[in-house]
Amino acid sequence: MDIEAILAIIFVLGVPSMALATHVVLRPLIREYARLKGLKVDKDELEARMAQLEDVVHDLDRQVNRLLEAERFRRELESGRSERRSLPDI
């Protein structure tokens, strides 16, 4: 057999079969890579949204504390007024 016949058989049968085998083997790996890359993007987006939610919760906590302080101050003022009213005038 000539080298040309062997090369012809390799190129006609061997290369397409190797390409098909490579495609079958690599396709799940590429899908997994794409899925993991997508998860990384989702993870980054999720972390950004969590940071925004933490900021919102922090702001709400600060506002509630300010409202509590204002209510406490108002009650102290009102209790001071009622004590003054109950004291006899001299």
Three-state secondary structure of 53-90: HHHHHHHHHHHHHHHHHHHHHHHHHHHHHHHHHHCCCC
CA torsion, points 67, 70, 75, 77, in degrees to nearest 10?
-170
pLDDT, tens digit (0-9, with 9 covering 90-100), for 34-45: 888 877 777 788
pLDDT, tens digit (0-9, with 9 covering 90-100), for 59-89: 999 999 999 999 999 999 988 865 555 555 5
How would residue 55 be classed by pLDDT, with cut points 50, 70 and 90? very high
pTM of the full predicted structure? 0.47
> If you average pLDDT over every residue of the chain, what do you get?
84
How would residue 5 be classed by pLDDT, with cut points 50, 70 and 90? confident
Q: How far apart are CA 32 and CA 26, in angstroms?
A: 10
